[in-house]
Structure 1
Amino acid sequence: MALVNAVRHPLRFRTTCFSCTIRGAHEVEFLPSVRIGRRLREHNRLTPPPWPCSARLFSTFPKLEQTRQSKKDICRGAAIARAATKTAQKTETAETAKEDAGCLTEDDEAEPQDGNGASLQVEDVELPPENDSDTAAVSFTVVGATGHLATQEIFPALFALYYKGCLPKNFFIFGYARSESNDKQFRELILTNLNCRLSAGTKCPQQMDSFLKRCFYEQGYYDTCTGMAKLDKRMKQLEGERVGNRVFYLSVPPDVVVDVATCLSVTAPSRTGWTRVIVEKPFGASGDSSKAITQGLQEALSEEQIYRIDHFLGKELIDNLTVLRFANLIFEPLWCRDYIKNVQIVFTEDSGVDARGKHLNQYGIIRDIVQSHVLQVLALFAMEQPVSLSAEDIRDEKVKVLKSLRRPTLDEVALGQYKARTNKSGDILDPGYLDEPDVPANSLAPTFAAMAFYIDNARWDGVPFLVKTGQAMRNQRNEIRIQFKGVPGNLYREHLGYNTEQQANELVIRVQPDEAIYLTINNKVPGLGVKLDQSRLNLLYRQEYNNDDIPDSYERLLLDVINGDKRLFIRADELAAAWEVLDPVLREIDDRGMVPELYTYGSRGPIGAYYLAAKQGGVRWADLDDL
């Protein structure tokens, strides 16, 4: 039996003995010996799904997951018992907990109903015939389906994937939220944010109608299992006899993430296929709170099932970072301290915080942007070449970078908060942060942060990584700028000027807007005599490629979840390593009550950011040259 398990599970080589390990509610690992594992590694093959867009697969093994599901049932009883014990701690008895939560068993489950309260029949929904495809059914549930993120980002991204034919035939979308609604109202809500950016032809309205027929709504609360049980019944009806795979996107506040994950892991997991859960940032407000969330999730789910999403990692130019570096011989030898003077990562927005004022007051811009977007991009940029393109190999290298980061001090941090912009008469043109709704009048939350990071390893020793991020800035700019050192003994210094650092080469990766990669070089101006200037070798994406071919970041990431590709998702140890870097300076900022420097809405930011850059070896913010 163990040998059979070894053949079926060629990825599970961790110990030298045979054992069955229960991990979470649905993870059963059969661990063959290392010797057998090496002999059977040749069985590890990708199994692409029978629908388009399968080229995104790097580490997807759907058949193995389906085979492994039969083993999950062996330990399911133990997982349910553990979940029941945890629920019992909050109530007098396990029976009382079940009654209060409304978690239903096979014997007392309610009849499935649609969003209008009517009994749900499979024939009410347009389903592809089962003999049309042998693909499994995929149910995609958005928990918190009426919120801004779901309606503005998630559902439009799912429609774009559907329009492109990237989703399996048996694909269904469920919305789950506390708001009273029904299927019809839910579909109308989704429709208000769908668009035909991919095509303005007659096909788009037809595709919208077909897409909306696959959308269903279930009302329920986050602190009980009643709604999840009804949701489970509806999904079963649509899945029919097919293998049922399920994705849950937790677009909910951080304080209920663990409760929702625990409930769905017991009440609504797939019994025949895989279950994957997407967790949205913020991942806590400190290392301790993040650790508590991680532990709570891992009690209900396995790490393999958890997808911590950072939408910025789904940007086209970020996904292209490894290609640019490791697929082009010209760059890799230069990607080190010998040739690079500094690296600048700039994430600025030209708008205020709008409805995010309360959120930013609670977290501040360092926790909101630097801890997630910035450090993830920094790690991806600075990592060593991974052994392969598999998710685990890439994330192993990112963790090494994060663990090598030196903890910044207060001298390496500059904070700012934007104030109102007025005209000469004193009339307010744009409100300041303290004028925004739900923001306390005495808030010290920074809306701008500039920081200097250093990586203590052989490749990057002494190279400053300067970070600048802020709201209400002069320009929207998301880019990575690599400034190279000047040419030693430059023959053309009389023509370039003796400050050769200002005439150094620069590689710019502009993530948005107007995606581009360009390299500045010193070039002779055509004509008699010798006159030099700086010119750009420019790859402008909207000129080189069709803009419609550039997917939205959520499109890429949601498809990766369906395909099981975790390259662009954050692993638990990555998250912990990032908090270890920032926790000390964040505590010091909070303990001292550090007051951010004021800067005017629409300006270049606080003056302190420029002093900070100058102290790192005379660095000048290069994005100012493009203003």
Structure 2
Amino acid sequence: MADTIIAAEDPSARSAPPLPSDSVIVVLGASGDLAKKKTYPALFGLYRYDLLPKGIKIVGYARTKMDDADYKKRISSYIKTPGAEDEAKLKEFLALTSYVSGQYDQDESFQVLDKHISEIEGYPDESHRLFYLALPPTVFTTVSQHLKTNCYPKKGSARVIIEKPFGHDLESSRELQAALRPIWSEDEIFRIDHYLGKEMVKNILILRFGNEFFNASWNKSHISSVQITFKELFGTEGRGGYFDTFGIIRDVMQNHLLQVLTMIAMERPLSFSAEDIRDEKVRVLRAMPVIDPKNVIIGQYDKSPDGTKPGYLDDPTVPKGSRCPTFAAIVLYIQNDRWENVPFILKAGKALDSAKVEVRVQYKDVTSGIFKDIPRNELVLRIQPDESVYIKMNSKLPGLTMKTSVTELDLTYKRRFSNLHIPEAYEALILDAINGDHSNFVRDDELDASWKIFTPLLHYLDQNEDIVPVKYPYGSRGPEFLDDFLADHGYSRELDGLYQWPTTRANGKI
């Protein structure tokens, strides 16, 4: 097992006290893919490192009828145990779990759940419960109402983790929040966007505000553009029917990538407390005008040039003639003193040439004179895979000439922190919820502000049937005019093409 370092917790970051010993975590939707692939592996990861409260109990709840053995078999099938020590830990973890079958719209089912929880709780007079809704948003309100009526502690505390999507536009988001508001207080709600739990995203605050050489140049005087990119190698692979109801903009950009943008662009918070951090994120969002359709390109992948990979419309689950975008590039602006006229370019797509998520901060050209066409400096934050931070810089090529070469100052996590455990995003966020820290969760006004930026564009695309996504080949970089679009918004790729990232280092080797 890899060594791990757990930083001392900052109590000022908490919005609520940590869950005490003998608390209960209830995973609703326990038989679904999200719970099996993300929630339970994350809970086990925390248990491996003794980060769960002492005496914790974990209860699964779903409509699927199964006995205790089947339930635990399902959980364990998605948990990796590379060694005997982990196998022993898994047996201990499974002993903490139990399962209740019931409906999502019947008081009687939730009363059975409440009775089961009460029987395994360690407190006779009070209860401390964390409800994880690994469920579709269509049942959030119904389930919440039944939990509040039947399973809410009469004395103690309750908190609830809610998964995205939080609506599909501003109106539906407000309807969802209005329905949840009488049931849960804002302090009890933890709206999870798993990108905020990723190690490199959590590192942005430290990189920005803990290093003066970054902080001094982090403004419109030095930065030409900021790109935040999400690329996937695969297409919908038979699940296009689900994806088609959202599209790439709703699925990735309005939430994940916009969250990263706020971390990149925000002002220094007064403290690391949850509300101070979220206040600054909201200020960034409120300084952003709605998206101009002229600053958007959308695409939809077609079959690969060799015909081995199908196009999006070849997926039998996709509606015939769908205009759903599988690729988008969107330019946003922030109207404040720091970022005026600096383009923030969000790019996301499926069936592209590589799989990565990164932030690319490109600096302005150096003063001309002794240099001609020297490449721009770039700061790159690789969020996944192979977390790294590197600065592309110009250096003299060793030898008897004054030729320049693009090289890098490189922090690749696999090499620098090879013996440390990098937690999965869900591990980090569930631990935050247990500790009562809202810093990396989405606040209601933050959600509202983000939908205000995107909703006019989404309605414009949905309602104008003559707007059809541009086709791009499966396995390409995206639409063929992408480079021209980026160049029109200040990004220099021609000079960028002189540089190649050393792939052996990206694999953790020297």
Normalised to the residue count of structure 2, the TM-score between the two structures is: 0.93
Confirm or deny that 1:499 pairs with 2:373. Answer: yes
Aligned partners of 1:329 and 1:454: how far apart in 2?
Answer: 25
After TM superposition, the structure 1 stretch with the greater mean CA deviation from structure 2, 136-145 or 209-218, is 136-145
Equivalent residue in structure 1 for 2:71, among 179, 183, 186: 186
What is aligned with 2:444?
572
Classify the secondary structure of the residue corresponding to 1:274.
strand
Q: Deviations over 1:334-364 (max 9, x none)?
A: 0000000000100111111235412221111
Are the structure 2 counterparts of residues 147 and 621 from structure 1 closer, same or farther at C-alpha, using a change threshold of 3 Å?
Answer: farther
Equivalent residue in structure 1 for 2:405, among 533, 538, 545: 533
The residue identity in structure 2 corresponding to 1:499 is D
What is aligned with 1:606?
479
8 A Cα contact 1:420 1:431, kept in partner: yes
8 A Cα contact 2:225 2:490, kept in partner: no
8 A Cα contact 2:224 2:490, kept in partner: no
- Offset at 1:253? 1.3
Equivalent residue in structure 2 for 1:241, among 123, 140, 161: 123
Q: Deviations over 1:343-400 (max 9, x none)?
A: 0100111111235412221111111111100111101110000111001000000001
8 A Cα contact 1:352 1:471, kept in partner: yes
Equivalent residue in structure 1 for 2:105, among 217, 220, 223: 223
Aligned partners of 1:258 and 1:54: how far apart in 2?
Answer: 36
Pairing of 1:540-579 with structure 2 (within 5 A): 540-546=412-418, 549-579=421-451
8 A Cα contact 1:136 1:245, kept in partner: no
Aligned partners of 1:439 and 1:622: how far apart in 2?
Answer: 39
Are the structure 2 counterparts of residues 53 and 460 from structure 1 closer, same or farther at C-alpha, using a change threshold of 3 Å?
Answer: closer
Classify the secondary structure of the residue corresponding to 1:481.
strand
Pairing of 1:276-355 with structure 2 (within 5 A): 276-354=159-237
What is aligned with 1:206?
88
Aligned partners of 1:547 and 1:460: how far apart in 2?
Answer: 38
Q: Deviations over 1:408-463 (max 9, x none)?
A: 2111110011112252xxxx412221222421121111110001111111000010
- Offset at 1:608? 3.8
The residue identity in structure 1 corresponding to 2:436 is G
What is aligned with 1:156?
41
- Offset at 1:307? 0.6
Aligned partners of 1:529 and 1:519: how far apart in 2?
Answer: 24
Aligned partners of 1:53 and 1:538: how far apart in 2?
Answer: 24
After the TM superposition, list the runs of 4 or more consecutive aligned residues in structure 1 that deviate by more than 6 angstroms: 621-624
Task: Structure 2 unaligned segments of length 5 or more: list them.
Answer: 1-5, 502-510
Are the structure 2 counterparts of residues 344 and 601 from structure 1 closer, same or farther at C-alpha, using a change threshold of 3 Å?
Answer: same
Aligned partners of 2:104 and 2:452: how far apart in 1?
Answer: 31
8 A Cα contact 1:177 1:220, kept in partner: yes
Confirm or deny that 1:429 pairs with 2:303. Answer: no
- Offset at 1:607? 2.1
Are the structure 2 counterparts of residues 290 and 622 from structure 1 closer, same or farther at C-alpha, using a change threshold of 3 Å?
Answer: farther
- Offset at 1:619? 4.3
8 A Cα contact 1:57 1:564, kept in partner: no
Classify the secondary structure of the residue corresponding to 1:365.
helix
Aligned partners of 1:58 and 1:214: how far apart in 2?
Answer: 31
Q: Which has the higher contact order (CA 8 A, sep 6+)?
A: 2
Equivalent residue in structure 1 for 2:459, among 587, 590, 603: 587
Confirm or deny that 1:365 pairs with 2:248. Answer: yes
- Offset at 1:490? 4.5
The residue identity in structure 2 corresponding to 1:450 is A
Aligned partners of 2:271 and 2:383: how far apart in 1?
Answer: 25
What is aligned with 2:301?
418
Are the structure 2 counterparts of residues 356 and 394 from structure 1 closer, same or farther at C-alpha, using a change threshold of 3 Å?
Answer: farther
- Offset at 1:225? 2.2
Aligned partners of 2:401 and 2:223: how far apart in 1?
Answer: 31
Classify the secondary structure of the residue corresponding to 1:288.
helix
Aligned partners of 1:227 and 1:611: how far apart in 2?
Answer: 58
Aligned partners of 2:120 and 2:385: how far apart in 1?
Answer: 41
Confirm or deny that 1:172 pairs with 2:47. Answer: no
Confirm or deny that 1:146 pairs with 2:31. Answer: yes
The residue identity in structure 2 corresponding to 1:401 is V
8 A Cα contact 1:340 1:482, kept in partner: yes
8 A Cα contact 1:414 1:449, kept in partner: yes
- Offset at 1:54? 6.2
Classify the secondary structure of the residue corresponding to 1:399.
helix
Paired residues, number? 493
Q: Deviations over 1:492-545 (max 9, x none)?
A: x1xxxx224xx1111000001111000111111222231211110100100001
Aligned partners of 2:276 and 2:219: how far apart in 1?
Answer: 21
Aligned partners of 2:150 and 2:35: how far apart in 1?
Answer: 23
Question: Which has the greater radius of gyration?
Answer: 1
Classify the secondary structure of the residue corresponding to 1:452.
strand
What is aligned with 1:520?
392
What is aligned with 1:468?
347
Q: Deviations over 1:456-495 (max 9, x none)?
A: 110000101111100110001100001011111443x1xx
What is aligned with 1:14?
none
The residue identity in structure 1 corresponding to 2:473 is T
Classify the secondary structure of the residue corresponding to 1:291.
helix
Pairing of 1:45-56 with structure 2 (within 5 A): 55=9
8 A Cα contact 2:275 2:439, kept in partner: yes
What is aligned with 2:335?
456
Aligned partners of 1:226 and 1:608: how far apart in 2?
Answer: 58
8 A Cα contact 2:197 2:426, kept in partner: yes
Aligned partners of 2:305 and 2:407: how far apart in 1?
Answer: 38
The residue identity in structure 2 corresponding to 1:431 is P
Classify the secondary structure of the residue corresponding to 1:265.
helix
Aligned partners of 1:420 and 1:485: how far apart in 2?
Answer: 38
What is aligned with 1:28?
none
Confirm or deny that 1:488 pairs with 2:488. Answer: no
- Offset at 1:204? 1.2
- Offset at 1:271? 2.8
- Offset at 1:182? 2.1
Confirm or deny that 1:253 pairs with 2:127. Answer: no
The residue identity in structure 2 corresponding to 1:282 is P
What is aligned with 1:382?
265
8 A Cα contact 1:414 1:608, kept in partner: no
What is aligned with 1:27?
none
8 A Cα contact 2:130 2:159, kept in partner: yes
Classify the secondary structure of the residue corresponding to 1:385.
coil
Aligned partners of 2:456 and 2:159: how far apart in 1?
Answer: 33
What is aligned with 1:26?
none
- Offset at 1:618? 5.5
Aligned partners of 1:464 and 1:60: how far apart in 2?
Answer: 34
Classify the secondary structure of the residue corresponding to 2:57.
strand
Aligned partners of 2:432 and 2:368: how far apart in 1?
Answer: 49
Classify the secondary structure of the residue corresponding to 1:499.
coil
The residue identity in structure 2 corresponding to 1:369 is V
8 A Cα contact 2:15 2:187, kept in partner: no
Task: Structure 1 unaligned segments of length 5 or more: list them.
Answer: 1-51, 67-134
Aligned partners of 2:494 and 2:104: how far apart in 1?
Answer: 46
Q: Deviations over 1:101-143 (max 9, x none)?
A: xxxxxxxxxxxxxxxxxxxxxxxxxxxxxxxxxx432211111
The residue identity in structure 2 corresponding to 1:218 is V
What is aligned with 1:34?
none
Are the structure 2 counterparts of residues 220 and 626 from structure 1 closer, same or farther at C-alpha, using a change threshold of 3 Å?
Answer: farther
The residue identity in structure 1 corresponding to 2:314 is D
Aligned partners of 1:145 and 1:221: how far apart in 2?
Answer: 12
Pairing of 1:609-624 with structure 2 (within 5 A): 609-617=482-490, 619-620=492-493
Aligned partners of 2:496 and 2:195: how far apart in 1?
Answer: 20
After TM superposition, the structure 1 stretch with the greater mean CA deviation from structure 2, 538-547 or 275-284, is 538-547
8 A Cα contact 1:318 1:377, kept in partner: yes
